[in-house]
Amino acid sequence: MCGIFCVLNNFSNNCDNLISQLKFEQNIKNRGPDSFNFQVFSTNDCSLAFAGSVLWLQGKNLTPQPLEDSESIFIYNGDIFNGFDEATQNNFGDTKLFHNFLKENIKNDTLDELYKVNGPYAFIYLDKAKKKLYFGRDIFGRRSLLLGKNKEGDTLILTSVAKRKTEFDFIEVPSVGTFCYDIQKNRFEVYCWQHKNKNYFSKLKDFESFLSTEIGNVFQREDDKPSNDIRAFEENENLKLLKSLKDTGLNEEGNTVLDQLLNSNLWLDNVKLLQKKCIQNKDNCNHATIGILFSGGVDCAVLALLCDKYVDKNRPIDLINVSFDEAKNYQSPDRISGRQTLKELETCCPNRKWNFVEVNVTKDALDKEREVHIADLIYPLNTILDDSLGCALWFAAKGQSKEYVTPCRVLIVGMGADELFGGYIRYRFALKRYSWQGLQNLLDEDWQNLPYRNLGRDDRVVSDHGRQLRTPYLDENVVEFLRKLECWEKTYPSSDLPLGIGEKILLRSLAYHLGLKQAATLKKKALQFGSKIANPKENGHEISSRLCY
């Protein structure tokens, strides 16, 4: 994890102290506590300043940033999960490997090939000779990158994190491809991802509107994504199996349904494939370097169990549970379900030390931290939902209970599970009103919107504590597997089954198969309600006055 920053002035004005003037420096340093460096590049007609901080998690040696050679200056925040063996990654580190891969694609004019990189990233790259500035985020938008401009329009900023009260306005760089700014021609280009969705061009229009300029060239490739039209599903064996569950006698937990599903080899095959696609991580360590945002629900429970499977047994795992329910001594719904699922984990994994970290947040602490700091991390987003989720995640990532502060450098979260497995309550209404085609369309729409919603915000608030955000459900291999399944192979939000069974039924089946029989049937609770940070009377889509300035 790193903090990256670049400021460009189209004149020869010196801009090397702008990061300090804007008070961005500390926020950038927070993201990478192991190293911070600065680099300036100036010519007769422009001046650029780069800053990079580093959280060192892998490789034999820390790679300081910015990374400079005779051709370029490069800053990078990301991980590579494919294409290189472990020895190569340990020797060179992901920063140098991505740098070399990027340079090769720039030379070959194949920047749209960056979508093949598995792993989250945001980067900024200066081609010194051609005076071109390249920047972008991964295809899912898992790492933050903001673009800012001043009112005069002569200074641009690219940064992981910004502040509200400055002379600059900011937007999130859309995850639509790799952007290129030709400094000499004062012109933007974009090398689009191969896969585009209906919001794709609207995001480019927003980008142009913000900069008050048109993108000069939009390099596109044909989209080879297959149509999402539903096949002749009435004859599908998995769907027949699900429909038969209507006549199954349900006990209080719905276990009979999951037992029956797992007795089907056809269903069990997908469950085992899903397990195989999930996270693997093997390191030796005797203190907790892995933390999990833990409400006790099925999403995080499965991740915890898989962490136990692949993380060295000598390493404790921190289960971080946040509550804002001061009036009820912090006995929020997530606190209650978290303790319940902890007992299941202790039964399933008796040789693992689980640290259940109770993060209790007073209203005074929430109000103070939001005003002086968290609102800047959430910016430029500004809704009530952004307020609730951003604050909840910031306090959770802080990981501080009365007697313990988590030392974890990686925080694992279940983001993307509802979009991929079909967990939202609105999917019930879509299926009931529009049948399977309507449900498929809504699943596709929600998935395609994911890069433009909250992942950049969540990266900003978690990384502020010098921890790296990991989203295993958004691993490219998991996504590819799940997106190829028909919708009824992963969710059955039908009134035939009670809430807490049909939604995300494939994931619930995996949890049950792994021994999490209670967690497998817990109803979904959004973080803002399970932690009791949100006021249910407020509309989450409205602008939050608490984030305004």
Judge whether 225 lies within some domain.
no
What is the domain count for the chain? 2
Give yes or no: residues 95 and 176 share one domain: yes
Q: Note whether 477 and 531 are same-domain residues.
A: yes
Residue 224 in domain: no
Q: Determine the pLDDT at residue 236.
A: 67
pLDDT band for 283, please (50, 70, 90 cuts): very low
Determine the straight-line distance between the first and last CA of the chain, rounded to whole angstroms.
Answer: 29
Last residue of a domain, one of 219, 246, 279: 219
Tell me how far apart the alpha carbons of residues 75 and 79 are, in angstroms, rounded to a whole number. Answer: 13
User: Would you say the pTM of this structure is higher than 0.85?
Assistant: yes
Query: Is 206 contained in some domain?
Result: yes
Residue from 83, 192, 85 nearest 136 by CA: 192
Do 421 and 298 fall into the same domain?
yes
Same domain, 200 and 257: no
CB atoms within 10 A of CB 23: 12
Contact between residue 345 and residue 301 where contact means Cβ atoms under 8 Å apart: yes
Structure tokens at 490: 């992963």
Check whether residue 114 and residue 210 sit in a common domain: yes
Distance CA 290, CA 307 (A): 9
2 is a catalytic site residue = yes
CATH number at residue 307: 3.40.50.620
Q: In this structure, is residue 157 part of a structural domain?
A: yes
Orientation angle between helical segments 476-484 and 265-277, nearest 10 degrees: 160
Identify the CA nearest to 39 among candidates 70, 9, 68: 68
Residue 356 within any structural domain of the chain: yes
CA–CA gap between residue 393 and residue 400 (Å, rounded): 12
Q: C-alpha 458: how far from its chain's center?
A: 7
Q: 131 pLDDT band (50/70/90 cuts)?
A: very high
For residues 213 and 262, state if they share a domain: no
Q: What is the mean pLDDT of residues 323-339?
A: 97
Q: Answer whether 12's CB lies under 8 Å from 43's CB.
A: yes
List the structure tokens of 134: 């390249």
- The last residue of one of the domains, among 219, 247, 275, is 219
Selection from 545, 533, 538 nearest residue 395 by Cα:
533
Task: Let me know whether 150 and 239 are in one domain.
Answer: no
Q: Residue 364 falls within a domain, yes or no?
A: yes
Torsion of CA 455, 456, 457, 460, to 10 degrees: 120
Question: β-pairing, 168-172 with 35-42?
Answer: unpaired
- pLDDT tens by residue, 423-467: 999 999 999 999 999 999 999 999 988 888 899 999 999 999 999
Can you tell me the distance from the alpha carbon of 1 to that of 33, in angstroms, rounded to the nearest whole number? 10
Residue 112 has pLDDT above 60, yes or no: yes
- Smallest CA-to-CA distance from 291 within 419, 413, 117, 201 is with 413
For residue 30, give the 3-state DSSP assignment: helix
pLDDT digits (tens, 9 = 90+) for 338-360: 999 999 999 999 999 999 999 99
Is residue 389 assigned to a domain?
A: yes
Which CATH number do you get for residue 102?
A: 3.60.20.10
What CA–CA distances, in Å, run from 217 to 178, 220, 275, 448, 531? 12, 9, 43, 23, 46
Among residues 187, 219, 251, the one where a domain terminates is 219
pLDDT tens track for 489-534:
999 999 888 888 899 999 999 999 999 999 999 998 899 999 999 9
Catalytic residue among 2, 15, 278, 300: 2
Identity of the residue numbered 456: G
Judgement on whether residues 163 and 244 belong to the same structural domain of the protein? no
Residue 376 pLDDT greater than 80, yes or no: yes
Helix, strand, coil in percent for the chain, rounding step 5: 40, 20, 40
The answer to whether residues 323 and 360 touch, using CB atoms and an 8 Å cutoff, is: yes
242 and 117, same structural domain? no
Distances (CA, A) of 32 to 211, 292, 324: 29, 20, 28
* 198 and 284, same domain (yes or no): no
CB 404 within 8 A of CB 357: yes
Residue span of the structural domain in which 446 resides: 233-547
The answer to the question of residue 226 being in a domain is no
Give the pLDDT band of residue 327 (cuts 50, 70, 90): very high
DSSP-assigned beta bridge partners for residue 88: none
Query: In what helix (H) or strand (E) does residue 2 lie, and over which residues does it extend?
Result: strand 2-9
Is the domain of 306 the same as that of 207? no
The span from the CA of 511 to the CA of 508, in Å, is 5
**What whole-number distance in Å separates Cα of residue 158 and Cα of residue 18?**
12
318 and 411 in one domain? yes
